[in-house]
Structure 1
Amino acid sequence: MMLSVTNTLSDEREEFRSTGADEEVLLYVCGLTVSDDAHLGHARVWVHADVMCRWLEHEGYDVRHVENFTDVNEKIAARVGEDDLGGSELDVARHFIEGTIADMRGLNLKRATVYPRVSEHVPEIVALIERLLESGHAYESNGSVYFDVTSFEEYGTLSNQDVEDLESQGDPEERSEKRHPADFALWKAGGVSESAIAEHAKIDHDHPPEGETWDSPWGEGRPGWHIECSAMAMTHLDETIDIHVGGHDLVFPHHENEIAQSEAATGERFANYWLHTGLLETEGEKMSSSLGNFFTVSAALEEFGPDVLRSFYLSTEYGSNQTFSEAAMEEARERFERLERAHERATEAMDGPEARTKVEDGDLRATVEETRAGFARAMNDDFGVREAMAALLELAGALNRHLDSHAEYDYRGLRRAIETIEEFGGDVFGLSFGTDEGGRVELAEDLVELVLRVREEEREAGNYERADALREDLESLGVGVEDEGEESTYRLSERRS
């Protein structure tokens, strides 16, 4: 069965076909605006995108996975000087990026190919805006640059809206500068706008932060929110990508604007498949930082552990809304422990004298094959994690029945069942079975110290660019490095369980 996905762009189920050579999939995930600690709503997108990548790789694809960090935003600038967050917009962003990376590792997410940041891609953003100006899809006004939505005939297709029915986008100050109310900013003149500052009560309004600015052909300013994702996706993937993943709340205006500016600049389709995750709700409302009804990822990892959290997310299909509650978390715990216990019992039985090749349990072996077929069928049906999880739980039940009712065990049946749980529950769902957490931490520390020794050798040899690159690589993995004179110390983010 071929993989099919629900494409928001067509609002239809479509058979998935990659555009890249050698079965390569180009996947972009709309990442986090790092103005606060990540919460469980953010993590829901991460986990589902992670499982999508794992399943694509299981099916033989080579996935190039890009997930951005928005480190230039008025919400970030609003927190400059607050507590110990730092004295600049980028300092605040680095603080929250470090925490987010630690949360991602704690959730057992596979590392993306690259995590680009807006502040590192301003030249690419400027170049993309220049292409839009040259082609007549954008115009300059008082040092800012706006996209002309009326110049792009397909505008509104993703969100099923008519451009003439749209209300004004952006800050109030922009309205007098725009030709059409729905036009949106590609480049904003100066620092953070007064209206954006006024939205954030934490700011000292007598001394509001200006935010980072960069030189451009139109004067000093900052990138608009939407242009960043197009520039980073095309820089690290291609002008046409296979899959674009993000929360359903980003369909409009963010993803609609991404399509318009990207396709207007290149003349090519920007993304072939748009997959949108449903919202995480609590007490009937969307979980969000602005509403203050969120549960941070770090706190949730401390209370529930990564396996229970992943089991919770995988109980609901990615495109549906999900409700966070104590009852739902308890059910997730029971599901994972049922799988974990069945795997543990089967592994112990395999090592015992009762496991014999001569015993053959037809029911167990049939359930194993049914589980494998059912899991694959569910995952190829728009990444149907709920049915896939149900298939694994059926196998757990068959294992327990076999172990409870036989004096001697089916060695080959047990081995195939264990391999199935580890392959699908472990490799695809990212759950851990029988892993030595302490041993992994010790190994991680040994590897960090090895990289630091190599970095020190590069510094002594005068290869400072290489040494800086190694430090950045460590920081992207959640390892904070501090240079004190000739010595370097580090802080390894703990993996919580």
Structure 2
Amino acid sequence: MTLHVTNTLTGERERFEPQDPESVLLYYCGLTVSDFAHLGHARSWVHVDVMHRWLEHGGYDVRHVENFTDVNEKIVARVGEEGLGESEDEVARHFISEVITDMRSLNLRRAEVYPRVSEHVPEIIDLVETLVEKGYAYESNGSVYFDVTEFEEYGKLSNQNVEEMEAQGEEDELEEKRHPADFALWKAGEAHPDDAEPGGQTWDSPWGEGRPGWHIECSAMSTTHLDDTIDVHLGGQDLVFPHHENEIAQSEAATGQQFAKYWMHVRLLETGGEKMSSSLQNYFTVRNAVSEFGGDAIRMFLLSTAYNNRQTYSEETLNEAVERWERLERGYDRAVAATDSPDARTKVEDDALRDAVAETRDEFAAAMDDDFNTREAITALLELVSAVNKHLDSRDEYDYRALRDSVETFEEFGEEVLGFALAGDGEGDVELLDELVELVLDVRERERDAGNYERADDLRDDLEALGVEVQDTDSGAEFRLE
């Protein structure tokens, strides 16, 4: 079956045909690094990760680029907070480090590159200059705005009419703009949240000192690391307008080429009837969720609903996902143990299990080719678990070939495509390491209580030399594996 995807740009379900039949150019709008990542972010991460994996499984060379927005007023607003840093760059670096740690805890494939806005300002300025030269943008009081009336197709992604759109940007920008819907490509001066110091980073430009606008960054980074035209542009549903609409306008106005062929959007994770977000303070951080339930259970929760369907977070839905993960893990472990047991025989044949393996493979592939339907793909794997259990519970000697094929199916689809650590992949080693570090910290605390501060400091230094960052807090010592 051929892969079909839902394209936000056309509103249609379309056959997936990249420009190059052997490769896929994929860009995902990453995080503004002003806080810890939560499960709403992880929902997009995990689904994009599985899309990447399935495309690779299909034989494509996937060039996956995901940015970090490290220039933003939300980051500036956190400058000076305890432990975060005294500059916009320091705050951004702190949260980028935390985000990468969270990504690894969820077993995400690494992108080809993770570009940052701060290192692409020259490319951003070049792109803005091109738009000014072509008549799509104009300077006003040291800022530069995109003129939405000059781009005839503006609104084609979000299906809006320019004259009916609400104003974009801050109130104080309205007097500088020709049209309320015009958006900033370059902002004059420094960023001062609520007129408070310190301001954010600024750069020299042909229009004076300033900072990049939000939308221009992704156009510059995408074209720099991929091409003027890419195959897939991914992001959260809340980015359709204005971010992605503006990306299309500025990119296509500058290059004269279609920016992205397929636009795909992950539905937002909801809790209590509202989207999960840092601003609403209704979120569950990735680190806390993984610490409490494990990375595989969180992946199971997030993948149990297809990316473009509504998903609600609750204690009940998360516990159901934990049960599904444990069932899949037990089924795999039983299949492995039985395959490697002396009761697995060459001449024993079970047509029911052999048929179940074939059906699982067909159903899994059909589900993933049906717009990356992870829910149905997981259902197919759990049906194979049932078939394996029935086989093992109903006989004393086992069909070796059928069990071997079952194990390979779990590993190929469960591990390689869905990203579960069925064979462990070091998760048990990590848990053991955590316990050992905690044991050393307990010894260190006893040394401190006994007044042996030099010995306690030596233990801390030894841990940090091994890549364990230790931080003393009011509630005791905390650590992070670097």
| TM-score (structure 2 length as normaliser) | 0.89
Checking the alignment, whether the CA contact within 8 Å between 1:77 and 1:210 is kept in structure 2 is yes
Pairwise mapping of residues 24-63 of structure 1 onto structure 2 (< 5 A)?
A: 24-63=23-62
1:85 aligns with 2:84: yes
1:289 aligns with 2:288: no
Cα deviation digits, residues 252-288 of structure 1 (max 9, x gap): 0000000000000000000000000001011111000
* TM-aligned CA deviation for residue 293 of structure 1: 0.5
1:145 aligns with 2:144: yes
Query: Which of 307, 324, 327 lines up with 2:316 in the alignment?
Result: 327
Cα deviation digits, residues 131-180 of structure 1 (max 9, x gap): 10110000000100000000001000100100000111001111000000
Residue 70 of structure 2 aligns to which amino acid in structure 1?
D
Checking the alignment, whether the CA contact within 8 Å between 2:33 and 2:95 is kept in structure 1 is yes
* TM-aligned CA deviation for residue 434 of structure 1: 2.9
Checking the alignment, whether the CA contact within 8 Å between 1:187 and 1:221 is kept in structure 2 is yes
* TM-aligned CA deviation for residue 209 of structure 1: 1.9
* Equivalent residue number for residue 272 of structure 1: 261
Residue 141 of structure 2 aligns to which amino acid in structure 1?
N
Q: Residue 33 of structure 1: SS of its match in structure 2? A: coil
* Equivalent residue number for residue 227 of structure 2: 238
The runs of 5 or more residues in structure 1 that have no matched partner are: 199-204, 445-483
1:417 aligns with 2:416: no
Checking the alignment, whether the CA contact within 8 Å between 2:468 and 2:481 is kept in structure 1 is no
Q: Residue 245 of structure 1: SS of its match in structure 2? A: strand
Mark the CA change 1:162 to 1:438 in structure 2 (over 3 Å): closer, same or farther: closer
2: CA distance between counterparts of 1:77 and 1:428? 38
Checking the alignment, whether the CA contact within 8 Å between 1:105 and 1:495 is kept in structure 2 is no
2: CA distance between counterparts of 1:156 and 1:94? 35
Cα deviation digits, residues 75-110 of structure 1 (max 9, x gap): 000000011111100100000000000000000001
* Equivalent residue number for residue 7 of structure 1: 7
1: CA distance between counterparts of 2:226 and 2:44? 20
Q: Residue 54 of structure 2: SS of its match in structure 1? A: helix
* Equivalent residue number for residue 101 of structure 1: 100
* Equivalent residue number for residue 19 of structure 1: 19
2: CA distance between counterparts of 1:287 and 1:101? 20
Mark the CA change 1:438 to 1:327 in structure 2 (over 3 Å): closer, same or farther: closer
2: CA distance between counterparts of 1:392 and 1:170? 47
1: CA distance between counterparts of 2:106 and 2:39? 11
Checking the alignment, whether the CA contact within 8 Å between 1:102 and 1:494 is kept in structure 2 is no
Query: Which of 357, 375, 386 lines up with 1:368 in the alignment?
Result: 357
* TM-aligned CA deviation for residue 437 of structure 1: 2.1
Q: Residue 79 of structure 1: SS of its match in structure 2? A: coil
* TM-aligned CA deviation for residue 490 of structure 1: 4.3
1:383 aligns with 2:382: no
The runs of 5 or more residues in structure 2 that have no matched partner are: 434-460, 470-478
Residue 302 of structure 2 aligns to which amino acid in structure 1?
Y
* TM-aligned CA deviation for residue 398 of structure 1: 0.1
Residue 14 of structure 2 aligns to which amino acid in structure 1?
E
Q: Residue 70 of structure 1: SS of its match in structure 2? A: coil
2: CA distance between counterparts of 1:438 and 1:358? 36
* Equivalent residue number for residue 390 of structure 2: 401
Checking the alignment, whether the CA contact within 8 Å between 2:40 and 2:276 is kept in structure 1 is yes
* Equivalent residue number for residue 469 of structure 1: none
Residue 12 of structure 2 aligns to which amino acid in structure 1?
E
Mark the CA change 1:438 to 1:431 in structure 2 (over 3 Å): closer, same or farther: closer
* TM-aligned CA deviation for residue 494 of structure 1: 5.7
Identical columns (%): 67
* Equivalent residue number for residue 438 of structure 2: none
* Equivalent residue number for residue 72 of structure 2: 73
* Equivalent residue number for residue 191 of structure 1: 190
Mark the CA change 1:489 to 1:412 in structure 2 (over 3 Å): closer, same or farther: closer
Runs of 4+ in 1 over 4 A off after TM superposition: 438-442, 487-496
Query: Which of 190, 194, 204 lines up with 1:215 in the alignment?
Result: 204
Cα deviation digits, residues 298-317 of structure 1 (max 9, x gap): 11110111100000011101
Checking the alignment, whether the CA contact within 8 Å between 2:3 and 2:369 is kept in structure 1 is yes
